[in-house]
Structure 1
Amino acid sequence: MIGFGLRLAVAGGREALTRLAVIAAAVAVGAALLLSTFAGINAVNAQLNRVAALYPQATEAGDGAQPLWWSSRDDFFHGEQITRIDVAATGPDSPVPTGLPAVPATGEYYVSPALQRVLDANPLSARYPGRAVGTIGDAALPSPDTLMLFVGRPAAEVAELPRAVPLTSLDDSAPGLPETTVDLIMSVIVAGLLFPVLILIGTATRLNAARREQRFAAMRLVGATPRQISAIAAIESAAAALAGTLVGFGLFLAVRGSLADIPFTGDRFFPADITLTVADALIVAVGVPVGAALAAGVSLHRVRVSPLGISRRTTPRPPRWYRLLPLLLGLGELAFFLVGRRPETSDGQMAVFLPGLLLVMIGLLVAGPLLTAGTARMLARRSNRPATLIAARRLADNPKAGFRAISGIMLALFITSAATGVITTIIANRGPAPIGSTDSAAVFLFTEGKPLPAAGLSALPGVKSVTVLRQNPDDHAYEGLVACGELPSAYGRCAPGASVAVVPSDLIPYRENADPNRIWAASSVTLDSLAKLPTQSVVVLTDGSATAIEHARTTLEQAFPAYVIPPTVPGDFESSFADTLRGWQQLADVVIVASLAIAGCSLVVSVVGGLTERKRPFSLLRLSGAPVRMLRRVVALETAAPLLAVAVTAIVMGFLAAGLFLRAQMGYTLIAPSPGYYLIVAAGLAACLAIIASTMPLLERITGPETARSE
């Protein structure tokens, strides 16, 4: 049976070989994209694990143990995050950090290659006194662009640093997991690639299904059993899919090095991160040919029921209203959690939001034929030309086939709309303005009673004021105290008659700008008592220039090497969280382009397949007097009309799902994406229309008079 099936697969001459080549090419593209998706997921996980390893948990030390003291903190330079890790060995048996040949001694530090380039190009070495003794290996760096250094210090000093932990082993630290929001974004984006790829593979294996159904129906009439027909069809499709899968592995290996340079998470990957597990390779190597065989079997269900049904070509039942139920259920699940029903744990949130989004995607696929049928009715009501009427009749006759050609585009637009809406809204709500966008910026540091080098700070170019805040004698109060005479006018003024004001520890509440009209509440502490209180923090107001900000930060870090300067300067916080989200936005852009390209390939295969299946009816229309331009309008209308209707529906559903998720998960209101998103979508739809137009020359070639002969 296998040999017979293979012989039939190539027995149709040029047409059969062309069909097998197209199926193999489509499967190769799909397999390569599946492999790239799996490798990208593995690279993201490896990068996240190395990031988590920079913030380990303390390990238990037994008798006689010689732990390594470790303290991680973040520094910033021109809006770029620098990870600083202070380490100290307590003996020769202390563990050595990954990526280092040895634990740096006091006054020594190891730097990443990217940070070394920054140190060579900028006067930043004063912030890190000592000498560089080497570079950090790739095994410790999340990305080739990571700015990081290991600083050697005495054990007693490291033990007093923030987040200092003793480590007897560096292998026991469990990797941290990314935020639930990022998990959801990644899952939806992965689905955004997988679904169109699977649709492409399924569409390719159904190529020229009508003629194959006729051939298999004839075989049924001469005695072939349904099982034999299914086996022959599966062998034919699986053979082409297997060849395409092998080519797909070759394509993946060819582009593997380039994938590392795509900043999916905002940072590039090491080439070694772009790897596949054995399970990934087996899923593609086995799953794709098996899926192609199953798709071929499904496409021949009418032959298995009755071979005479192929010749009669009865009209399928029109889609019913209940096809909307999965879509409504998915949206209903997301809406259910709007009123405080959101689970508290990350696993619980994943368990409710991700199935809801997947259910919406499945619902769109199920409801697609119903939307196509509605488009056909609209065309029929507005038809005033033969081409419009024929296109509407074709769509109404088989809306499933009409939707199948554009189902990949529908999913692609839904995924990209949902992901872009979520990311755009989060960045707008949690990402401050980039550095240099304001005319002033403050750097502040908790001094915890240490002496302050105020004179050195005030003399720096670009520094407008240096304000010292005192600790509030109320142990339960987080705010600090400041003398009204020392309060800069840029931060507001005291209440009338007050000599001491109660202010936030950083003088500028989070995500707010300095307001000269703000009035601060008065404190009951007198000026004499204020001078005796220990300092709480120092706030340095600059002119907003990068030079003044970095000089102030360096001076503070030199004066208070044991303390952390919080990321309050515009651009700092953005470089940590919002910069990561911008990386996911870049990934979403990649998905937009990739998924639309995949959907375009599916569209090509579907349109070409539809033309070859209907070349005899079109040829008869030409013999009866129908001009070729009318047939071109028929093909264009029956694809473009549902395409535009599906595009609008997918975008609306994507934004609706994103809005429900944002409101339930984070309490945010959806913010419309930038015009760039709409330009990309418009360009993608224009490319799809161009694909449809590119098939028109084929219509004239395959509908000549010779095609109308009796078969």
Structure 2
Amino acid sequence: MVKSFALAARLLRGGGRHGLLGTVLTLAAVTVSTALLLAAIAANSAFAARTERTAWQTPASVSESEATAIQFSRNEYFGDRAITVIRLAALKPGAPVPPGLDAFPAPGQFYASPALRDALSSGDLAARFPPLTGDIPEAELAGPDQLVAVIGMDPGAVSMKAQNMEQTPTWINGFGDGESVEALIYDILLKIATALVAAPLLIFGAAAARLTVARRDTRLAALRLVGATPAQVVAMTAAEAVLTAAVGAVLGALIYLMGFAGLAQIPMQGSNWFTGDLWVGVPWLLGVLIAVPLMTGASAVIGLRQVVVSPLGVARRQTPPGLRFVRLLAVVAALIAASLMTAQSSTTVIMVVLAMVFLALNLAGPFIVSVIGRISAAFARTPARLLAARRLVDDPRSAWRTVAGVALTGFIAGFIGLLSPSAIEADTGRTQVAVESSIVTTESADAALTAAGLTARVDSADPGVVRVLATPDEVEKVKTALATIDPGAPLTADSDSVVQGTIMLGDIQVGVRIVLIVSFLVAIASAGIAGASSVLDRRRTYSLLRLAGTPLKVLDRARALETRLPLIVMGGGSIIAGVICGLPFAVAGMFSVAGMVTLGICVVIGFLGVAAASGLSRPLLRSVTVVGVAPQE
């Protein structure tokens, strides 16, 4: 094996200018894949760390007889910002101390997160809480921007017995094993997004080993013909791929490490991220650095069957056997399974089905490309179109590698493009603000409103609840006025649901855009790298055609059509397939016009980007078809 690595290193160094360029292309592909794969893993580890840290904010409930304290957690709102307000009351000695605090908060004590403490400089917000007692450490928060308040209460207070404030009190004897419904929703969405991003990355990374495949296969076939054994050929191929991929993996890891600060600024759940949360950890980092080269080497070895079995055929450039129709059946089966998913399907089912679709598309892609080539050849009316069509028929696998990223991205865009919901529009009419407190009465509420100089008055007073009607512009002032009666008492407005929905839908939109942007960037990079690799693979053919008198513009036109034809068919078809698979989720209420607009913009930009990336191969084509230079391998 050591000799194989030594020989592979010599072959890499002695490959000439074009051989070096091929190695650089593979290196670039592996670098991009590794960096984005580590970023996807970091997102999951960061969310897991955030969920673990904030579990105490929504602890698991126990029976009333076992409880030592009672907790009431809910989101309240100040403008467009959510504040997690946690009210705690001890029921008996031994009440659990909230993480980060020195003792269980006594009635009237108020602890705030650093971000909330800074926000209290606003008089309107400060008036809603008791005097500040202390801080909640950042180590117990979702992120540096999370607004959290912990208020000590008397267990007999009316606000600790609320049944109509969106959440009933929780009986607790500890702060472990908690998880909110919101966290579960975000976890499901994140896993789906990870599957959508990771699958194309893994396929792109594996395809990197097949770049400049024709040149390598010819070289290895020559070695087989002069006496190299199949085992030696396999060892050399694996060593060459592993060496290149190892360097690319290290470069990708460095890019990921340098991107910490940028990733941490992506807001989610109303807060940015702690930089340390985005560190995947040494085990994951080493695992990726080992797995990526091994996967690349395995992919390179898998493609050696023809070199090992028929080296003479490779050396003579015989057309490989055709692809079988059964590949298309795999796509049909996967799409049928995807269309049967619903919004109620489990996360595991959704991820498995999406993985099946990606693998099926990658399997059937070359067959569909070959069909496109046959149809195009039958209707070709120009030399460029005929050359492009024949190339698609002769080597559909190479053509597929150029557009594979677009096809997989098209499916992603179609699937999630419809699921980018529009923002919730606020009600411009009058808004209700409901306050519940043991001492708030109609008279005290009216007095507080008058003292604040507000025209709003109590509209109704049910037992224990006072409701005030106010215009949208007065809502925050009404909340502050009523809070002065009983600082820390629950406050809610009809418009709060708008803010809550806007925050979650905003996070979904951010996630959709990130997935689409990353996917299209991978597709563009894949098209550019694979296009340049394809030119290097066929430089002898291009040179012979040029020497035979074929104009350079005809060759360039054929090269462009070779990408454009499958790009339109496969890209468009995969978008339609993604839309069909996403319809069950859209029907469940997630469809929006904004999603369609986002999808359209991303598709246009993506296709233009892929076309531009493919056009970057034009100077390379000119350099490998210099008239008067004998074609060499």
The TM-score with structure 1 as length reference comes to 0.80
Alignment of 1:467-478 (within 5 A): 467-468=459-460
Alignment of 1:39-58 (within 5 A): 39-58=42-61
Q: Determine which of 348, 358, 362 is the counterpart of 1:361.
A: 358
Q: Within 1, Cα distance between the matches of 2:188 and 2:109?
A: 42
Tell me the CA shift for residue 368 of structure 1: 2.1
Distance 1:254 1:302, change over 3 A: same
Contact 2:449 2:482 in 1 (8 A): no
Question: Can you list the C-alpha shifts for 1:615-647, whole angstroms capped at 9, x where unaligned?
Answer: 111112112221111111111110122112222
Contact 2:73 2:87 in 1 (8 A): yes
Tell me the CA shift for residue 101 of structure 1: 4.2
Alignment of 1:620-635 (within 5 A): 620-635=544-559
Contact 1:357 1:657 in 2 (8 A): no
Identify the residue that residue 326 of structure 1 maps to in structure 2.
330
Q: Determine which of 249, 252, 257 is the counterpart of 1:253.
A: 257
Distance 1:92 1:409, change over 3 A: same
Contact 2:212 2:534 in 1 (8 A): yes
Tell me the SS of whatever aligns to 2:556: helix
Tell me the SS of whatever aligns to 1:151: strand
Identify the residue that residue 412 of structure 2 maps to in structure 1.
415
Question: Can you list the C-alpha shifts for 1:372-395, whole angstroms capped at 9, x where unaligned?
Answer: 234334533543221111111111
Contact 1:373 1:399 in 2 (8 A): yes
Amino acid at match of 2:471: D
Tell me the SS of whatever aligns to 2:72: strand
Amino acid at match of 2:129: Y
Distance 1:196 1:100, change over 3 A: same
Q: Within 2, Cα distance between the matches of 1:562 and 1:112?
A: 15
The yes-or-no answer on 1:682 pairing with 2:604 is yes
The yes-or-no answer on 1:432 pairing with 2:433 is no
Contact 1:265 1:587 in 2 (8 A): no
Question: Can you list the C-alpha shifts for 1:648-686, whole angstroms capped at 9, x where unaligned?
Answer: 1222122211112344xx366675615344223312221
The yes-or-no answer on 1:82 pairing with 2:83 is yes
Identify the residue that residue 21 of structure 1 maps to in structure 2.
24
Identify the residue that residue 433 of structure 2 maps to in structure 1.
443
Tell me the CA shift for residue 590 of structure 1: 1.6
Q: Within 2, Cα distance between the matches of 1:307 and 1:676?
A: 49
Q: Determine which of 241, 251, 258 is the counterpart of 1:237.
A: 241
The yes-or-no answer on 1:652 pairing with 2:570 is no
Identify the residue that residue 268 of structure 1 maps to in structure 2.
272
Identify the residue that residue 129 of structure 2 maps to in structure 1.
128
Amino acid at match of 1:703: T
Amino acid at match of 2:527: L
Tell me the CA shift for residue 327 of structure 1: 2.9
Q: Within 1, Cα distance between the matches of 2:293 and 2:338?
A: 35
Identify the residue that residue 540 of structure 1 maps to in structure 2.
468
Distance 1:174 1:119, change over 3 A: closer
Q: Determine which of 301, 306, 313 is the counterpart of 1:309.
A: 313
Amino acid at match of 1:541: L
Contact 1:658 1:670 in 2 (8 A): no
Q: Within 2, Cα distance between the matches of 1:386 and 1:591?
A: 40
The yes-or-no answer on 1:452 pairing with 2:442 is yes
Tell me the SS of whatever aligns to 2:418: helix
Identify the residue that residue 139 of structure 2 maps to in structure 1.
139
Identify the residue that residue 7 of structure 2 maps to in structure 1.
4
Contact 1:192 1:416 in 2 (8 A): no
Contact 1:5 1:236 in 2 (8 A): yes
| Gapped regions of structure 2 (runs ≥ 5) | 163-167
Contact 2:238 2:301 in 1 (8 A): yes
Question: Can you list the C-alpha shifts for 1:236-265, whole angstroms capped at 9, x where unaligned?
Answer: 110111122222222222112321112255
Q: Within 1, Cα distance between the matches of 2:308 and 2:121?
A: 73
Question: Is 172-181 or 621-630 further displaced after alignment?
Answer: 172-181
Distance 1:70 1:188, change over 3 A: closer
Distance 1:192 1:227, change over 3 A: same
Q: Within 2, Cα distance between the matches of 1:250 and 1:585?
A: 29
The yes-or-no answer on 1:30 pairing with 2:33 is yes
The TM-score with structure 2 as length reference comes to 0.89
Identify the residue that residue 151 of structure 1 maps to in structure 2.
151
Identify the residue that residue 297 of structure 2 maps to in structure 1.
293
Q: Over aligned residue pairs, what C-alpha RMSD do you find?
A: 3.1
Q: Determine which of 193, 199, 203 is the counterpart of 1:199.
A: 203
Q: Within 2, Cα distance between the matches of 1:147 and 1:232?
A: 58
Distance 1:652 1:194, change over 3 A: same
Q: Within 1, Cα distance between the matches of 2:255 and 2:279?
A: 14
Contact 2:128 2:487 in 1 (8 A): no
- Which of the pair has more CA radius of gyration? 1
Contact 1:217 1:307 in 2 (8 A): yes
Question: Is 667-676 or 694-703 further displaced after alignment?
Answer: 667-676
Identify the residue that residue 227 of structure 2 maps to in structure 1.
223
Tell me the SS of whatever aligns to 2:82: strand
Q: Within 2, Cα distance between the matches of 1:593 and 1:351?
A: 24
Tell me the CA shift for residue 42 of structure 1: 0.6
Tell me the CA shift for residue 361 of structure 1: 2.5
Tell me the CA shift for residue 466 of structure 1: 3.7
Tell me the CA shift for residue 689 of structure 1: 1.0
The alignment covers a number of residue pairs equal to 623
Q: Within 1, Cα distance between the matches of 2:181 and 2:431?
A: 33
Q: Within 1, Cα distance between the matches of 2:219 and 2:213?
A: 10
Question: Can you list the C-alpha shifts for 1:582-633, whole angstroms capped at 9, x where unaligned?
Answer: 2132122122222222222221221111111111111121122211111111
Tell me the SS of whatever aligns to 2:504: helix
Tell me the SS of whatever aligns to 1:127: coil
Identify the residue that residue 595 of structure 1 maps to in structure 2.
519
Tell me the CA shift for residue 297 of structure 1: 0.6
Q: Within 2, Cα distance between the matches of 1:335 and 1:567?
A: 40
Amino acid at match of 2:22: R
Q: Within 1, Cα distance between the matches of 2:534 and 2:619?
A: 14
Identify the residue that residue 477 of structure 2 maps to in structure 1.
551
Identify the residue that residue 483 of structure 1 maps to in structure 2.
none
Question: Is 214-223 or 101-110 further displaced after alignment?
Answer: 101-110
Contact 1:353 1:661 in 2 (8 A): no
Q: Within 2, Cα distance between the matches of 1:644 and 1:266?
A: 40
Tell me the SS of whatever aligns to 1:149: strand
Tell me the SS of whatever aligns to 2:75: strand
Question: Can you list the C-alpha shifts for 1:135-192, whole angstroms capped at 9, x where unaligned?
Answer: 321112112221111123345449934444454433x334456576644432332123
Tell me the SS of whatever aligns to 1:396: helix
Identify the residue that residue 539 of structure 2 maps to in structure 1.
615
Contact 1:180 1:350 in 2 (8 A): no
Q: Within 1, Cα distance between the matches of 2:592 and 2:368?
A: 26
Distance 1:158 1:584, change over 3 A: same
Contact 1:265 1:581 in 2 (8 A): no
Q: Within 2, Cα distance between the matches of 1:167 and 1:591?
A: 39
Amino acid at match of 1:673: G
Q: What is the percentage of aligned positions where both structures have the same residue? A: 30
Tell me the CA shift for residue 59 of structure 1: 5.5
Tell me the SS of whatever aligns to 2:346: helix
Distance 1:140 1:549, change over 3 A: same
Identify the residue that residue 693 of structure 1 maps to in structure 2.
615
